[in-house]
A and B are shown apart, each in its own frame.
Chain A
Amino acid sequence: MKQIALTAAATTITAWLMAGCGSYPAPTGRLADSQASVRAAQEVGAQNNPQAALHLKLAQEQVDQAKALINDGDNKRAEFVLLRAEADAELAVALARETTARTEAQQALDELKSLKTGDKR
């Protein structure tokens, strides 16, 4: 029991030392935000639109990369990578919504056109 506690303490200290004297806190809030943004992108169907899917994938990869960096104690890099992830996820949301809006607009225009054509019959 004691042995385990000691090992854990040693690991923590090592991580602190690697991160540079513990000066940079782990970006847990930023990580949560980025993950929320990724979920939002999935909810609007970003995976169904090639362009949006690309940015969703980039966001997911960067979130994973950031987690690895946090594990390695590189919190500062992790924070930046999470900012990149969030920017990609936001863009994925916007691209998916843009596609939906364009499709809906086209449907309305088509409907209008067919109504007007039918009127002339």
Chain B
Amino acid sequence: MIRAYPKDRKNGFAAAPLGALAILSLVVGCGSAPPPKELLEARTAYQKAQTGQANQVNPAQVHVAKGSLDQAEKSYDDEPGSPETKDRAYIALRKAQLADAQAGMMVAERQREQAQKELQATQVAMGRKTERELESARKQLERSQQQLEDERRRTKEALDNLAKMAEVKNDNRGMVITLSGQVLFASGASALLPAAMSALDNVVTALKANPDRSITVEGHTDSQGQRSFNMDLSQKRADSVRQYIISHGLPPEIVRAVGVGPDRPVASNSTSDGRANNRRVEIIVSPPERK
């Protein structure tokens, strides 16, 4: 068992280890059996338990394993080759493995508890989120219903107001709003009068609710004066009206302006009342064209 130091070693300190080995050999007893496989395994297993997670989560069982290992070591010291030494080492090995397995179980149980707690919290949070989303959707719906209601009311008011200052009728072209030229323009001019603007504001409000309609603005004159002047004036007036209503929110692509001049009188041009009726702007709102 005892390996002698090489004889050629001349250093002084070689004597110290030699002495220690001599004492050790006396304690262990000359020719003592090497540690049984079980003891070596028990030492390794205990080392693992003692340095691993078992020592943190399961110290009591690690302590038990230590007691077992101590007994096995003592047995090995006292009667190295006996079957009891092997038995004690075997038991010590199992106790160390037990400490490890129990620790593994404890850690897994903690993980499960943690995950379940988080699961529950997430479910509660998701429930709250769903509630919030429902509530928000409900409010959104209420708001859109209110908006729709407001819009209907505004459209109706606008049409009512419009009826006071313009003639509104339906014919085969659609809804025709006829505004008197006197309300809209100064004589011979194409710039809108202030009074015209409130009338056109009502037109815009009423038509905004139906943005898919197509709108034609027609300028009309009486037959007095030069025809080319009247044609030009009616076009400019129709353009003015178109410009106003598109700048107040109607989509430009649905609004067309046409100068008709004196060609389509609605009354006789021989009386001043008749001529006044013929000087007008018609706004024709047609249903959307079918494709």
Give the interface of A toward B (CB within 8 A): 55, 77, 80-81, 83-84, 87-88, 90-91, 94-95, 97-98, 101-102, 104-105, 107-109, 111-112, 115-116, 119
Beyond contacts A91-B101, A102-B105: 7 other A-B pairs, Cβ-Cβ < 8 A, are A80-B87, A87-B90, A87-B95, A94-B101, A94-B105, A98-B102, A105-B112
How far, in whole Å, are A88 and B120 apart by their CA atoms in the complex? Answer: 39
Cβ–Cβ < 8 Å partners of A105 in chain B: 108-109, 111-112, 115
How far, in whole Å, are A37 and B60 apart by their CA atoms in the complex? Answer: 20
Cβ–Cβ < 8 Å partners of B102 in chain A: 94, 97-98
Question: Could you tell me if B83 and A77 are in contact, using CB atoms closer than 8 angstroms?
Answer: yes
How far, in whole Å, are A97 and B105 apart by their CA atoms in the complex? Answer: 7
Question: Could you tell me if B94 and A91 are in contact, using CB atoms closer than 8 angstroms?
Answer: yes
How far, in whole Å, are A102 and B91 apart by their CA atoms in the complex? Answer: 26
A87 and B101 in contact, given A98-B108, A108-B115 (Cβ under 8 angstroms): no
Question: Could you tell me if A87 and B116 are in contact, using CB atoms closer than 8 angstroms?
Answer: no
Q: How large is the interface on B (under 10, 10 to 19, 20 to 34, 35 or more residues)?
A: 20 to 34
Closest residue of chain B to A52, judged by CB? B101
How far, in whole Å, are A96 and B83 apart by their CA atoms in the complex? Answer: 29
How far, in whole Å, are A105 and B106 apart by their CA atoms in the complex? Answer: 11
State which of A84, A91, A102, A108 has its C-beta within 8 Å of the C-beta of B116: A108
Question: Could you tell me if B122 and A115 are in contact, using CB atoms closer than 8 angstroms?
Answer: yes
Interface residues of B in 73-107 (CB under 8 A from A): 83-84, 87, 90-91, 94-95, 97-98, 101-102, 104-106
Most central of A55, A101, A119 by chain B CB within 10 Å: A101
A84 and B91 in contact, given A116-B122, A119-B126 (Cβ under 8 angstroms): yes
How far, in whole Å, are A94 and B115 apart by their CA atoms in the complex? Answer: 22
Cβ–Cβ < 8 Å partners of A55 in chain B: 94
9 residue pairs, one from A and one from B, having the closest CB atoms: A87-B94, A108-B115, A101-B108, A94-B101, A105-B112, A80-B87, A98-B105, A105-B111, A105-B108
How far, in whole Å, are A111 and B123 apart by their CA atoms in the complex? Answer: 11
Question: Could you jot down 16 A-B contacts, CB within 8 Å?
Answer: A84-B91, A84-B94, A91-B94, A94-B98, A97-B101, A97-B105, A98-B108, A101-B109, A107-B112, A108-B111, A108-B112, A108-B116, A109-B115, A111-B119, A112-B122, A115-B123
Asked whether B135 is an interface residue with its Cβ less than 8 Å from the other chain, the reply is no
Asked whether B150 is an interface residue with its Cβ less than 8 Å from the other chain, the reply is no
Question: Could you tell me if B84 and A104 are in contact, using CB atoms closer than 8 angstroms?
Answer: no
How far, in whole Å, are A112 and B118 apart by their CA atoms in the complex? Answer: 7
Cβ–Cβ < 8 Å partners of A119 in chain B: 122, 126
Question: Could you tell me if B108 and A104 are in contact, using CB atoms closer than 8 angstroms?
Answer: yes
Most central of A55, A83, A94 by chain B CB within 10 Å: A94
Question: Could you tell me if B122 and A109 are in contact, using CB atoms closer than 8 angstroms?
Answer: no
Closest residue of chain B to A90, judged by CB? B98
> A11 to nearest B CB, angstroms?
26
A81 and B98 in contact, given A97-B105, A108-B119 (Cβ under 8 angstroms): no
Question: Could you tell me if B87 and A112 are in contact, using CB atoms closer than 8 angstroms?
Answer: no
Cβ–Cβ < 8 Å partners of B105 in chain A: 94, 97-98, 101-102
Question: Could you tell me if A112 and B104 are in contact, using CB atoms closer than 8 angstroms?
Answer: no
How far, in whole Å, are A114 and B91 apart by their CA atoms in the complex? Answer: 44
> B36 to nearest A CB, angstroms?
13
Closest residue of chain B to A110, judged by CB? B115
> B132 to nearest A CB, angstroms?
14
How far, in whole Å, are A42 and B269 apart by their CA atoms in the complex? Answer: 116
Question: Could you tell me if A81 and B87 are in contact, using CB atoms closer than 8 angstroms?
Answer: yes
Cβ–Cβ < 8 Å partners of B122 in chain A: 112, 115-116, 119
Most central of B97, B101, B104, B119 by chain A CB within 10 Å: B101
Cβ–Cβ < 8 Å partners of A108 in chain B: 111-112, 115-116, 119
Closest residue of chain B to A108, judged by CB? B115
Contact with A along B113-156 (1 / 0, CB 8 A): 00110110011001000000000000000000000000000000
